Each structure stands twice: as C-alpha cells, then as structure tokens.
Structure 1
Amino acid sequence: MPSEFSGKHVTVAGLGVSGVPAAKVLHGLGTHVTVVNDGADERARTQAAELEALGVTVRLGDGTASDSGSAAGLPEGTELIVTAPGWKPTKPLFTAAEQAGVPVWGDVELAWRLRGHGGRKAAPWLAVTGTNGKTTTVQMLASILEAAGLRTAAVGNIGVSLLDAVTGDTEYDVLAVELSSYQLHWAPSLRAHSAVVLNLAADHLDWHGSMEAYAADKGRVYEGNQVACVYNVADRATEDLVRAADVEEGCRAVGFTLGTPGPSQLGVVEGLLVDRAFVEDRHKNAQELAEVADVNPPAPHNIANALAAAALARAYGVPAAAVRDGLRAFTPDAHRIAHVADVDGVAYVDDSKATNTHAAEASLAAYESIVWIAGGLAKGATFDELVVGAAKRLRGAVLIGADRALIREALARHAPEVPVVDLDRTDTGAMPQAVQEARRLAEHGDTVLLAPACASMDMFTNYNKRGDAFAEAVRELGA
C-alpha cells in the first residue's frame, strides 16, 4: 500500500464516471475519503449509496461545490483534492484549497501516480488531445497496437477509466490515452512516452477563460515527452506548442500532413500513407505504411487522424505492417461521418458528432456537393468562416434548432445563392421533416450531410440521439 496515500484525508470533487472510481481506488488504498457533489439527483443518490456502503463519506448538494454558494471551505482535514475534470478552476472549493496550500489533482494525475502500484507493470502512455478527432485517433491507435501483438486499451476521456486501467488485473504493454483539456489542466506531473495535439480551435473557452489558456492546457500533453511530440503541419499552433514544451533529451518533433511529407514527417504520396520520420536516413528514404483506402472512412480529416495514430505507434516501435492491419481492422464509432444509406442516387451521411464549427468544417470538406443539415445550440460560436469555406460545395441547407438563425444569417452573407430551408421548430420531430426537405433539395450524386456545427441539447438528449433520429428518418425514405 503506497505510504503517500495511506491514512491521508482526500476530498473527491464530483461523482460520475471519474469521481466514483477515484473514490473507490483511494478508499482501497486506506485513504479517508470525502466526496462532495453539486447535485443530488437520482443518479447521484445511487452512486452515493454505493460509496457509503464501502465507508466513504458523501455530501450531496454540498455548498463547497457551487460556483455561487458562500460555503467555500474545505472539508475538515483535507490534504488533497481529486477533482472531476469538468469542474472549473474558479470554483470556491479550489480557491480555498489554494489558500490552504492543498494540491488539486484530476483523476488522470492520480492514475499517473498509481502506475506500477502493487508491483504491476507501469505501462507507458501514448497520449492524444486536440479539439476534434481525439476518440477516433485513440481507437485507431489501439487497433494498430493490437495488430502489433501488444496488450493495450483505449482509455481516458474515451469513457474507460484510466484508474481502472492502471489498478486493474490486466497488465498492459502500452496505453492509448485520450485526454481532454480539462483533464490536462489537472495533471501537472503527467509525462507521456509520446503525444499528439491533433488540432486547435476555439472550444470550452467558458471553462478556460481564453484561447491562450485553452491552448496552454492542451500543450501540457507534450511536457516531458520521451520519444516524439507529434504535431499537425497544417495547424501551426500545434507546432508552436511543441516548440514551447520542455521535453526529455532526444525527444523529436514529428509532423503529419495530408501532403507529401518532408523529413521527420508522415504524409500522403500517390494514395499511400508514408513515414519519413521513423526510418533510416529520413532525408532520402520513406516507408509505406498503408493505402488511403485502408482508412475508414477515407475523408481528409480522418486520414489526418490515421497519420497521427500511425506516428504515435511508430514512435513506440510498431512495424509498418501493423499500421496497415490496424487501420483495416478499425471500425469508427457511430455518428462520426457514418454513411447511413443511398436513396435515389443520394448519399446520406451522419456526422452528428460534429458539434462545433471546426468539426463541421472537416466534415463538409469531405464531399463535393452537399445538402447540409445544421443547427442546434451554438455555444457562442460564429459561422461566417465555416460558411465561407463550404459555400462552393453547398447545394442547399436545412436548418434546425434554437440557434439556426446564426447559420442562416451567415449563409445570407456569404452564400446567398444557396437555397435555405429554415425549420422553425426545436422538437425532435423536426428531424424527419429536415430529411424530407433535404431530399427535395438534393440531386443525383449529392450527399445529404448531418454536420450540425452545434450541440444537440436544445432538441435531443445528446448527439447520439440526434444521429439516431437522422438515421431512422433516412431509413424511412428508402422503406
């Protein structure tokens, strides 16, 4: 039992997918655990009862959790806070911790410090962050590592607890780790084997306070890297983060590009994914890794994801054949640029996961002639740049959701010739109507693309439900 935790008084901030495992692990290490949580809904009460049965103290609706509440004191005796990643740094609990000199970690930091616990193998981490594409890239990476015969798992922000991975019975050779900006903010000592920032675009600024702070938290993933800091050649901000990072001696900067790669880069040449980074004499030689057709789907942004995953795998020493086999074996999650059906010569594609403008931009760039279904909760986003970039590809647009007027106005300014159907409704029944209107606008060879560029919660529980509604409406077209 690690002496640094035994007998310590630790406050876990938040229940949910990270707080419950953290509380259980800490309790199992002999720690005195108190959990504080904002809400006291049915799910929270169920989780609290489970923890209390183990002997963990749980305070639901605790004033220390509130952004506006006056009770900002720490639970008595607190020596460490382990927080859920989504809790803002401005919460009174953290202000009180700073004043008292109490450290604040996230569950990722706790997992990092518990590597090798109980004599287990301390598997190295290959870390992935970025505004968009994290989950797909991590899953591709895990598939490649598995194809190389390595014991691995896709963990972290992907929904599989890192704490479970480092303290469970399975001993891994290497972990493919998805990290959000929130998680990185609370992980000061994380030092990955190799890492990538896929891209950077304005997101979660209400949490971070500024684009600079958001980028800085993303850049934490490069700190202390041992072998490779992988960056996006097309996104200069990611390379700037590499330049600013303090890495181990000998760690290299490795770029990925959809163009012809230079030395120390991976890229695309005549329909092939090639490596000019992890080869002998990279100034003269290149290694074929896979064909573009091996990437599913072979949309530009997904090819970029595949190159990033390949770069991390190659940094770990994976052979070229495993990259090819892993990409061929990979099946993307639902609602990520997923082909639903062809109806009367028109393709219907579900990219409900495109919940911000950066993701929608990548999705729109994948097709030549599009009827675009968009709208939802804009979360403060603007759409002018997105529409300017996509205008020449748009056959028409069908708008839904609470903030659809923002997209309609951007279309009027920058693509006035594109016909627009504005559905003045925010109920779930709007989706079948949207699909019908898109069918009316589409011509043979077009793609009807659900890439909302907005969050879904004005109409649907989540983006999965939104995508399901789209797919069901499309299937009804062909029935």
Structure 2
Amino acid sequence: MSRTDVTAYGRSSDWGAVHAVVAGIGVAGFACADQLVHLGARVTVVDSGDGARQRERADVLEVVGAAVRLGDGDTLPDDADVLVVSPGLPPYAPVIVAAQERGVPVWGELELAWRLRGPDAAPWLVVTGTNGKTTVTLMLESMLRAAGLRTAAVGNIGVSLVDAVMDPEGFDVLAVEVGAPQLPFLLTASPLASVCLNIAEDHVDHFGSMEAYVAAKGRIYANTQVAAVYNVADPVTERLVEEADVVEGCRAIGITLGTPGRSMVGVVDDLLVDRAFIDNRADSALELASVHDVHPFAPHNVFNALAAAALARAAGVPASAVREGLRSFEPAGHRIAQVAERDGVTWVDDSKATNGHAALTSLLAYESVVWIAGGMAKGQEYDDLVQRTRDRMRGAVLLGVDRARIREALARHAPDVPVVEVGRTDTGAMDDVVNAAAAMARPGDTVLLAPGCASWDMFRDYGHRGDEFAASVLRHLGG
C-alpha cells in the first residue's frame, strides 16, 4: 500500500493527501487532532479508554470531521501515513510498535508543533528535568514578560504547544516545558536554548529502564542553536550536553549554586550573576538579581531561578528584566507552599514532589520535619533519601498503596524515627494523616507533605492531594 511521504511536511503542505492517526484523546491528542483536521488532513483518533471524558472529546472531534475509535488504542489503521502520539503512551505501546514495523513515521506532539510553526515563528526556550521544570518555565515566562515580550508558558504545563504555534496573533518567544514522555518522538525541532535541570529516578515504568529514560531526556539538547544549559552539580546533564548534536556555535552553559566559572551562571555572595552572556566573561560578571528576589526561598528554588535566567539571557533578556521577572513571579500551586503556621509549627504543601528526588530536595530545605509521604512509587526506592535526611526527621506519616516501600527504607536506615501508617484509601484519610502529624510535631518543626510518589491511587492528581491536605490542616487548626 502506497503512503503519502510526510518527511518534509509543514504548515503550508497539502495535508488533504494525508491520513493522520492520533493516538490518545487527552489534552495533547485532542489539540493535535483538531489542528490536523483544520489543516485538511483525514484524521483518525484511537484511544484505549472509553470513559465520560473521552466520549466528550470524541463528540467534539467527530463534529469537526475526525473519526474516533474509543476502547481500541492498540490497532493502527492500515492506510495510516503518520502516527502522532500523546505523551502518555510508552514507547513500547502496541500502536507505536506497529507503526515502526510498517515504516510509518511516528511524531510526538512537540514534533507536530515544530512542523506547524508559521513563517515568522517564535523561537523556543525548552525546559526539562526530573524536578523543577514547571517552576523554571513559569519563572522564565515572567522574565520574558518583564522584558516586554509576548510569550506563554506552554507544553507539558497544560497549554498545548500545537495550539500555541497555531495562534493567529503569534508570539515573540515561547517558554516550553517538556516532560520525558514527550521526547522520544521529537525529531526536527531546533530550540534557541535548552536545559535539562537534573536527572533522577522517575518514569522508569514508562520507559522500561533508567537508561532509556536518561536517553529520552538527552533529546532536549538536539539541534539547540545558542545555549545548551546544564547543571554543574549533575554530571549526567553535563554528559548529555557533551554528547548532543547541536547547531554549530551553540555553547554549553553551566548553572551552579556556587561561584560561577567562565560560561556559567551562579551565585556570588547573595547575588545571582552572569558570566556566560557578557562580552568580558573571562574577568567580570553581571549582577542579575539578589537571592532575596527569589520566592519562595529555598536553595533549589535559587537554582531554578538561575536556570530560568540562563535561558532568558540566551534570548537577549536584559538583567533588569530577570530581576523584575523574579520579583513578580507567582509560584504554581503545591510547590513548597506554606499552608499555615501555628504554635511554632509550619505546615507546607509540596504535593508536586511526586518522586524521591523531589521529596529529597524538599526535605533538605528544612531543619526538623514531620514527613508526610506515600502513594504510587512508580518503581522507585527510598534508601538514599532516608539516609540523607534521617537526622532531620521528627517522624513520618505514611499513606497510599506503596507506603510499605517507604516504611521499609525507614526501618533499614532510620529505625529510631517514629512512623505512623494510615491505611484508609478514601480522600478523607488526609484528616487522619494531619492528626497524626500534629501529634508528632513540636515548635520549630515543619510538617511537610512531600510524598515522593504519584497521587493516582487515592487522588485525581497531585493538586487534589495538596488541596485535601490544606483543607485538613485548616480544619485541624480550626479555620
């Protein structure tokens, strides 16, 4: 069967000759299917789910002209010319394997978005990493806005990148958050600047191995034009930059919480400084902001600010806009957010800490902690986390389907730390969690929800988990 060759396809191509199959009808898949129909392609959407949300989106897509097949996401139509995959599908999903075996091109959402850019397309500043990428992307957006640029935080952050590039008003520059599941099928994109913030164990179940996960993260640097930004304290990210096939002239830019060397952005005294994007970087540094401009303040959030600043500076943003962007930045919810303080005990919601590395970073920001943890572990182990934070733990309260994995790590490495397990699986369990944590806490302690696990066993998402925690805290404190 002959297929239409889509190798060089872009926005102005004749999409009427293309049968595009979109796998997944979530936010990304819906946007991809909708825009492909708008361009004139024949579109079939397949999804293994058949719930109310899928049917609602299917109804809309069928009205505009797409064919939708719910309850069967594994079968690839025989005459497919290209398969566009949603990030929720693992690389070994049957529909992807079928496409690869037949020689049908497989594109991710980001690949389609890159191809659909207009003639005066906005450059991309792309952010990935196991932890911190949403905060960095939003900080970057704030800096770009402070510089007077029309921009948006898009991608994994909730706004479809495909919709953004098709926006008729256009943008000056885009701040693009990229999760690892979006990267395996990103082929031709060429960002202005890119950063991988860190690499830690996560999504191993999605990729099948840690090696495959790291390789996916490394794709963020491919074809980068100006600056490939890496974490000086994380040798894996430096290796990924060294191995990346970038555009000639692209520079490796380090970010560090210490004093920066040449071609780095870092900290001198209490100042964030640039030794990368100035003319005389061998002998001088440019002040960008104060660490006191970073909020909420924590060492890892200063690092986030440095990463955002490096990308902004790569795009030509002046130092004054970096400072103003940090000062006007509004953090996303459920990221080291203070819920309450009473009788010397601070209650903090870091429900976004959905893996061990994020929980470790959060725990290290506080001197004495009652740790609330647990949920779906996604194959992670917690021995290193416990070993590095046991001297900070007043106690631990555990919930969720994989709480035993954390309990066993505590028993091995911190047997003197009191542990309470909450076995309820309804959302009301959070009241029991908060009551147990309150009984442990002493003046000067932080009660920290940093679960180190996904939330889906008990909650809709990490936001729902954080909301339930905050509501339980306020009920416990009487208001």
TM-score category (smaller protein): over 0.9
Q: What SS is found at the alignment partner of 1:298?
A: coil
Q: Tell me which residue corresponds to 1:51.
A: 61
CA deviation map 1:279-311 (0-9, x unaligned): 222121011111111111111111111110000
Alignment of 1:47-446 (within 5 A): 47-62=57-72, 65-66=73-74, 72=75, 74-116=76-118, 119=119, 121-446=120-445
2:414 & 2:206 partners in 1: Cα distance?
A: 33
Per-residue deviation, residues 36-66 of structure 1 (Å, max 9, x unmatched): 111121211121111111121111122xx23
Q: CA deviation at 1:153?
A: 0.4
Q: 1:402 to 1:99 in 2, by over 3 A?
A: closer
Correspondence for 1:41 among 51, 58, 62: 51
1:256-277 superposed Cα distances (whole Å, 9 cap, x missing partner) = 1111111111111222111111
CA distance in 2, matches of 1:224, 1:159: 25
Contact 1:226 1:250 (C-alpha < 8 Å) held by counterparts? yes
Aligned partner letter, 2:447: V
SS at match of 1:470: helix
TM-score by length of 2: 0.95
Counterpart CA distance in 1 for 2:466 and 2:91 is: 33
Deviates more, 1:343-352 or 1:263-272: 263-272
**Which of 26, 29, 39 in structure 2 is aligned with 1:29?**
39
- Equivalent residue of 1:285, what SS? coil
Q: Distance in 2 between matches of 1:452 and 1:89?
A: 27
State the secondary structure of the residue aligned to 2:223.
coil
* Counterpart contact for 2:204–2:378, Cα < 8 Å: no
What one-letter code is carried by the residue in structure 1 that aligns with 2:58? A
Q: Determine helix, strand or coil for the equivalent of 1:242.
A: helix
Report how far residue 26 of structure 1 moved: 0.8
Amino acid at match of 2:436: E
Partners of 2:205 and 2:378 within 8 A in 1: no
* Runs of 4+ residues deviating >6 angstroms: none
Corresponding position of 1:469: 468
CA-to-aligned-CA distance 1:66-90 (integer Å, 9 cap, x gap): 3xxxxx4x31421111111221222
Larger deviation: 262-271 or 103-112?
A: 262-271
Structure-2 residue corresponding to 1:69: none
Residue 24 of structure 2 aligns to which amino acid in structure 1? Answer: G
Gap change, CA 1:478 and 1:192, over 3 Å in 2: same
Q: How much has 1:426 moved relative to structure 2?
A: 2.6
1:359 maps to a residue whose letter is: A
Please say if 1:7 is aligned against 2:17: yes
Q: CA deviation at 1:408?
A: 1.7
**In structure 1, what is the Cα distance between the partners aligned to 2:400 and 2:346?**
23
- More deviation in 250-259 or 274-283? 274-283
> How large is the RMSD of aligned CA atoms in angstroms?
1.3
Q: Write the letter of the residue equivalent to 1:92.
A: P
Contact 1:85 1:186 in 2 (8 A): no
State the alpha-carbon separation in 2 of the partners of residues 424 and 10 from structure 1: 47
107-116 or 396-405: which moved more?
Answer: 396-405
Structure 2 CA distance, aligned partners of 1:424 and 1:29?
52
Alpha-carbon distance in 2 for matches of 1:233, 1:358: 17
State the secondary structure of the residue aligned to 2:16: coil
Q: Where does residue 4 of structure 2 map in the other structure?
A: none
Residue 95 of structure 1: CA displacement?
A: 2.4
Cα distance between partner residues in 2 of 1:21 and 1:425: 38
Q: Secondary structure at the residue paired with 1:254? A: strand
Give the 3-state SS of the residue equivalent to 1:200 in structure 2.
coil
1:334 maps to amino acid: G
> Are the counterparts in 2 of residues 367 and 393 from structure 1 also a CA contact under 8 Å?
yes
Partner-residue secondary structure (3-state), 2:372: strand
Superposition deviation, residue 21 in structure 1? 1.2
C-alpha contact (below 8 Å) 1:190/1:221 kept by paired residues = no
Q: 1:295, 1:231 → 2: CA distance?
A: 20
Structure 2 spans left out of the alignment, 5+ residues: 1-10
Whether the 8 Å CA contact 1:191–1:221 is kept in 2: the answer is no
For 2:460, give the aligned amino acid: T
Q: Report Cα offsets for 1:152-172 as digits up to 9, x if no partner.
A: 000001010111111112211
SS at match of 1:6: helix
Counterpart code for 1:200: I
CA distance 1:94–1:458, change in 2 (3 Å): closer
| Structure 1 contact 197–230 (Cα < 8 Å) conserved | yes
CA offset at residue 423 of structure 1? Answer: 2.5
Give per-residue Cα distances to partners, 1:406-435, cap 9 Å, x unaligned: 212211221122222222333322212221
Cα distance in 2 between the residues matched to 1:423 and 1:215: 34
Aligned length: 468
- CA distance in 2: counterparts of 1:265 and 1:377, whole angstroms: 37
**Following the alignment from structure 1 to structure 2, what is the Cα–Cα distance between the partners of residues 344 and 440?**
13
Give the counterpart letter for 1:180 in structure 2.
Answer: G
What amino acid maps onto 1:106 in structure 2?
G
Q: Is the 8 A contact 1:397 1:438 kept in 2?
A: yes
Shift of 1:4: 4.5
Tell me, in whole angstroms, the C-alpha distance in 1 between the residues paired with 2:436 and 2:355: 23
420 and 95 in structure 1: CA distance in 2 versus 1, 3 angstrom threshold: closer
| CA shift in 2, pair 1:478/1:206, >3 Å | closer
